[in-house]
């Protein structure tokens, strides 16, 4: 799904939901990231493996002193529809 504020076919805002499997050995869990606004989706470069300072600030905008903790073994699926 491209990073557009509306779906060209329907003219509506796309639904952004993600299912994440955190494969932490001590605490494995499924995480559902619910419907997000278009501003909650930010483009990335293909070779990125860590958030840069701009992306970290964008991700933390709703939380003061937010800490980004890597989930190294995570797998994720986008949920369409």
pLDDT tens digits along 35-51: 777 778 888 888 888 99
How far does CA 49 lie from the centroid of its chain?
Answer: 14
* pLDDT given for residue 21 in this prediction: 96
DSSP structural state of residue 15: P
| Higher per-residue pLDDT: 39 or 5 | 39
pLDDT at residue 4 tops 80:
no
Kindly state the average pLDDT of the residues 65-78: 88
Which residue's structure tokens are 């504020």?
5
pLDDT at residue 28 tops 90:
yes
Instruction: For 43-68, give the DSSP string.
Output: ---TT--S--HHHHHHHTTTSTT---
pLDDT at residue 75 tops 80:
yes
What pTM, to 2 d.p., does this model score? Answer: 0.67
Which residue's structure tokens are 């869990």?
29
């Amino acid at each position: 799904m491209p990073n557009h504020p509306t779906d060209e076919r329907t003219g509506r805002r796309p639904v952004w939901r993600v299912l994440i499997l955190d494969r932490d050995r001590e605490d494995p869990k499924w995480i559902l990231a619910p419907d997000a606004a278009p501003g909650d989706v930010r483009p990335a470069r293909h070779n990125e493996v860590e958030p840069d300072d701009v992306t970290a600030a964008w991700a933390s905008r709703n939380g003061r002193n937010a800490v980004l903790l890597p989930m190294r073994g995570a797998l994720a699926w986008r949920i369409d529809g």
